[in-house]
């Protein structure tokens, strides 16, 4: 019964490209009108067919992790791209679509992310160990979208360009108090303290990242200008002249957006500037993939811009600038994949093959999300006063961040 339903689903979903599915009973079935991508998969476990009917996103990932789904023609990227270009969730049968709607209605509980749950969620992903992340991240251990104004940049160069771009937007002056919400391994804090003479307070919920970021600040001789706290951002008191948050908002959860932006506004000084860098979606609000939520980012969510603007509008913050990065994260993920695969034997010495397939699936699925779906990166520049940030983006493109001019009196609309 389950095989018949799966075949009917594939017939409904796959129109573009060509998919050949070899079922557990050995039968072969071809779907699609032809053209790229062309993929052949073999399903060897009949038990997974039931899962594909109930929750295809979860079951597809688990089948790949367990090795019961193998790809005999094409590769994982082509398989996931095939489903993406055919409409993904938008073409699912009514029964599965109803499940998505139910999960959407349950977001306020699933993504509640109170302090205890937030700490547990962060530990699930970020406390795997430095040695693992060193196998595919850049030397500064930047675990967020790099910036590729030149596509031939190395990963290290592109991550440095990302930090420089953010620093320009912060309009930092020496001695300013800067808060880094979700500071990771401390790379941004080190850059702002070392290159801009800022006094940085970084907060993280990861014990591993807290320990390493503190060590890096000490080894760089910057302990007098950098303080790394193992603390929830909701417990902070200010004020701060500048606030930066890179890749943390994705872990806040939709029910906490009002709390998050209210806190940013509360912590920011009257002449303050905040730069929030987050993955987003150029599409209506949705839900996190159940596979991603279970195995990679519990409590995580990629917001639509509409979900972020409403809580921002409740504050007294100006939307000084909103920049959209398209393509940069897909390129970042490709660089991470190349390094992950080049070091896969070292990963295997740490973890089993199921873990390797899980991370491979995550990295490839994320890349496809930016390449074939509607995922982007938003950089939201927020300020207490309209005139704090220059009225054009010209100041961003000087040769060095230090050369950015002081803010001009406001004479028109904010940067577009």
Contact 45, 65 (CB under 8 A): no
Question: CB-based contacts of 4: which residues, under 8 Å, 6+ apart?
Answer: none
For tokens 């430095």, what's the residue? 130
| Token representation of residue 289 | 């993939």
Q: Is the pLDDT of residue 407 over 70?
A: no
| Average pLDDT over the chain, rounded to an integer | 89
Domain 2-105 matches domain 115-403 at the CATH topology level? no
Q: Is the pLDDT of residue 321 over 80?
A: yes
CA angle 205, 255, 126 (to 5 degrees): 25
- Listed range (208-212, 238-242, 263-267, 399-403) with the worst mean pLDDT: 399-403
Q: Is the pLDDT of residue 409 over 50?
A: no
CATH code for residues 2-105: 3.30.1050
What is the residue extent of each domain of the chain?
Answer: 2-105, 115-403
Mean pLDDT of 155-178: 97
| Token representation of residue 161 | 């360009």
At residue 48, the pLDDT reads 86
At residue 116, the pLDDT reads 67
At residue 140, the pLDDT reads 95
- Please state, in angstroms and rounded to a whole number, the distance separating the CA atoms of residues 360 and 358: 5
- Please state, in angstroms and rounded to a whole number, the distance separating the CA atoms of residues 9 and 12: 5
- Please state, in angstroms and rounded to a whole number, the distance separating the CA atoms of residues 402 and 173: 9
| Token representation of residue 173 | 């002056």
pLDDT per position as a tens digit, 64-94: 999 999 999 999 999 999 999 988 766 666 7
Q: Is the pLDDT of residue 408 over 50?
A: no
Class of domain 115-403: alpha beta
- Listed range (15-29, 109-123, 358-372) with the worst mean pLDDT: 109-123
DSSP label at residue 55 = -
Contact 183, 206 (CB under 8 A): no
Tell me which residue of 296, 303, 300, 261 sits closest to 278, measured CA to CA: 303
């Amino acid at each position: 019964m389950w095989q018949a339903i799966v075949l009917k689903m594939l017939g409904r979903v796959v129109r573009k490209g060509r998919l050949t599915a070899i079922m557990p009973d050995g039968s072969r079935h071809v779907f699609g009108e032809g053209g790229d991508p062309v993929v052949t998969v073999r399903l060897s476990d009949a038990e997974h067919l039931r899962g594909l009917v109930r929750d295809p996103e979860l079951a597809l990932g688990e089948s790949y992790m367990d090795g019961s789904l193998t790809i005999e023609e094409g590769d994982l990227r082509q398989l996931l791209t095939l489903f993406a270009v055919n409409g993904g969730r938008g073409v699912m049968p009514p029964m599965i679509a109803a499940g998505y709607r139910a999960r959407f209605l349950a977001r306020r509980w699933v993504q509640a992310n109170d302090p205890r749950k937030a700490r547990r969620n962060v530990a699930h992903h970020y406390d795997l160990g430095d040695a693992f992340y060193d196998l595919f991240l850049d030397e500064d251990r930047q675990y967020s979208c790099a910036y590729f104004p030149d596509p031939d940049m190395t990963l290290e160069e592109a991550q440095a360009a990302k930090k420089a771009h953010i620093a320009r937007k912060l309009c930092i002056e020496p001695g300013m108090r800067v808060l880094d919400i979700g500071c990771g391994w401390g790379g941004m804090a080190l850059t702002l303290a070392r290159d801009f003479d800022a006094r940085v307070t970084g907060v993280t919920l990861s014990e591993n990242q807290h320990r390493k970021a503190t060590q890096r600040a000490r080894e760089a001789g910057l302990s007098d200008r950098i303080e790394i706290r193992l603390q929830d951002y909701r417990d902070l008191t200010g004020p701060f002249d500048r606030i930066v948050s890179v890749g943390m908002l994705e872990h806040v959860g939709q029910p906490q957006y009002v709390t998050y932006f209210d806190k940013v506004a509360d912590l920011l000084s009257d002449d303050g500037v905040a730069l929030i860098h987050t993955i987003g979606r150029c599409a209506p609000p949705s839900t996190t993939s159940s596979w991603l939520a279970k195995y990679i980012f519990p409590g995580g969510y990629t917001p639509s811009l509409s979900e972020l603007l409403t809580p921002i509008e409740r504050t007294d913050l100006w939307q000084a600038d909103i920049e959209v990065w398209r393509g940069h994260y897909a390129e970042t993920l490709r660089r991470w994949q190349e390094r992950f695969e080049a070091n896969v034997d070292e990963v295997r010495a740490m973890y089993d093959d199921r873990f390797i397939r899980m991370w491979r699936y995550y990295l490839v699925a994320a890349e496809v999300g930016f390449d074939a779906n509607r995922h982007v990166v938003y950089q939201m520049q927020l300020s207490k006063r309209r005139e704090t940030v220059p009225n054009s983006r010209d100041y961003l493109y000087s040769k060095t961040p230090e050369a950015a001019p002081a803010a001009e009196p406001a004479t028109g609309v904010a940067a577009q």
